[in-house]
Chain A
Amino acid sequence: MSDLSVQSAPPVQTRTRSERWQRLKRNKLLYVMIIPGLIYFVVFKYIPMYGLIISFQNYKPHLGVTGSEWVGWMHFERLFHDPMFWTIFKNTLVLFLYNILFYFPVPIILALMLNELRKEWFKRTIQSIVYIPHFMSWVIVVSISFVMLTQDGGIINDLIAYFGFNKINFLMSTDWFRPVYILQVIWREAGWGTIIYLAAMAAIDPQQYEAARIDGANRFRQIWHVTLPAIRSVIIVLLILKIGDVLELGFEHVYLLLNAMNREVAEIFDTYVYTAGLRQGQFSYSTAVGFFKSFVGLILIMMANWLAKKFGEEGVY
């Protein structure tokens, strides 16, 4: 296979203009195949990027991007003086930290345990079960938690009452929003998250375990000295991706949990952009908020990648 690919690669020194033209003509059907997809990316991904310029305008829908008045950095200045902006900034950051601290290690631990199983059927059964929630929508996940957590007739509160404690209003409290949020994330995603780690573990040479055992390593030390180092680079890549996602905490998920009572801890960038922009019609201002968010996300992923490379890892790009 590899020598075939060498054959078909064009020789570099003969890359003249006419040869290039020949190749374009020969591949014209391939371009036809790519075009519909390319149009999609241009229209629904790149034109919205161009649309970010309305954050420097006083955008009026009837005037459009070309006709609206330019206002410079006004919306960004307003944003940095808006106390609500700093609340959502903090909320977004806290949810991100919860994700890194409480969610991120769970799939790794779960994968380490699954990897220790010798009975194939048991391993497969557990895997099939823990993957399922990933396929449920956030509406379903949040709905299931609502019927279980509600104060009238919810099983959790019934149990709390049965043991003689006071019922807790999980769904409308500022104290419980974050724990409920992260438990839902773990429940839905942890099983699915093991796939990639398990694949990395499957590639480890069994001789390494053999050697570790001869050196007297017990099972725990084998995990510590063989399995974990072997999946180190996968962990780092996924961590970078997660950091890049810092501001993408799942609009749907948070939006579904958000209510008037928990807003002060639950409002994040996306939900704020939605309410301020689409529901209150402040197009330019909320585009500025979204722009800030996208920009910070890009910077963070670049920084994380740079750090990973500095520590001798491959990084994601």
Chain B
Amino acid sequence: MVEDRSIASRLFDGFIYVVLILVALITLIPFIHVLAGSFTTTAELARRGFVLFPTEWSLTAYRYIFSTDTIFKGLANSMGITLFGTMFSMFITSLMAYGLSRRDLDGRRTIMFLVVFTMLFSGGLIPTFLVVKEVGLIDSYLALIVPFTINAFNLIILRNFFQNLPEGLEESAKIDGCNDFGIFFRIVLPLSMPAIATISLFYAVTYWNTYLPAILYLNDTNKWPVQIILRQIVIVATGLSFDDSGFEDAALPPSQSVKMAAIIVATVPILCVYPFLQKHFAKGALLGSIKG
């Protein structure tokens, strides 16, 4: 391909570079601001306002938020929910996706329709709440997991991936005396690691970010995930929430740097997984995205 080297074309390139660098900066600056702010004192924040690199380092904010075990408990809860939830969801989702990927299965069109229909229409908040209550999940960690076992999008992506594996694999495994479980666990799963990694990441992110289900289903504050704790520290404590759902009023509203430290603590675990799985998910997100 011959490059277009005219002046107009170079100006065009220049313009795109400038805009995209700006976009990247707009994306990053809030993080950097919050990160820097969390490591400095409220006094310096007040004096300098726009801090991208603190001159006075301070761990006061972190010492403050870790002085009670509220945040620790929240982090531990979130980690447990994320770990267990992701494994549980992946297990149920991939089994169902594999079953539905086999073309010789009677009724698979009907089942797929039932799945897709849930993406178009739902019973809504109250009827779902009543079911969760009826099956006895209120105030249990499982309330944040079981009602979210399968995400229909993830199921479809995985099914499409399994469907595109060569069918000869199954045939030959069957001839070797392997049953469907054996085929799935010993042949299909190991071959599907990129898809499995991608969907696991999607589930893990959802579970780490779980917030609303906890508001709906957990009255027991000891079980709250870190996202709710973060909301209490930043939003409720600032008096900017619609309801103060039973959180004991802090004597003093937390300072800016404490809020920033809380944001960092709730964000860092997700940022840690990101680089490892990043190379997979762009591809993974496309596996089944357009052709539902």
Contact = CB atoms under 8 A, between A and B. Distances in A.
Interface of A: 1, 4-5, 8-10, 20, 23-24, 27, 29-31, 33-34, 36-38, 40-41, 43-52, 54, 61, 110, 113-114, 116-118, 122, 125-133, 135-140, 142-148, 150, 153-155, 158-159, 162, 171-172, 187, 191, 195-196, 199, 206, 209-210, 213, 218-220, 234, 237, 244, 251-252, 255-256, 258-260, 263, 270-271, 273-275, 277-279, 283, 286-287, 290-291, 293-295, 297-298, 301, 316-317
A279 B215 CA distance: 11
Interface of B: 1-4, 6, 8-9, 12-13, 16-17, 19-21, 23-24, 26-28, 30-31, 33-34, 37, 42, 45-46, 49-50, 92-93, 95-96, 98-100, 102-106, 111, 114-116, 118, 120-132, 135, 146-147, 149-150, 155, 166-168, 171, 179-181, 184, 205, 208-209, 211-212, 216, 227-228, 230-231, 234-235, 238, 240-243, 256, 259-260, 262-263, 266-267, 270-271, 274, 278, 282, 285-286, 289-290, 292
In this complex, the member of A31, A137, A145, A278 whose beta carbon has the largest number of chain B beta carbons within 10 angstroms is A137
Given A31-B99, A40-B149, A191-B23, 4 more contacts: A139-B228, A153-B46, A195-B286, A213-B4
Given A51-B127, A136-B270, A273-B125, A195 B285 contact: yes
A290 B126 contact: yes
A295 to B, nearest CB: 8
16 contacts: A4-B166, A8-B171, A27-B104, A33-B95, A34-B100, A37-B155, A45-B122, A126-B21, A132-B271, A187-B30, A191-B23, A218-B8, A218-B9, A273-B126, A297-B120, A317-B292
Contacts of B129: 277-278
A144 B34 contact: yes
Contact of B180 (A29, A146, A172, A287): A29
A70 to B, nearest CB: 17
A316 to B, nearest CB: 6
Contacts of A136: 209, 267, 270
A133 B27 contact: yes
A298 B115 contact: no
Q: Which 5 A-B pairs have the closest CB atoms?
A: A48-B123, A51-B127, A37-B96, A290-B124, A137-B209
Contacts of B111: 34, 38
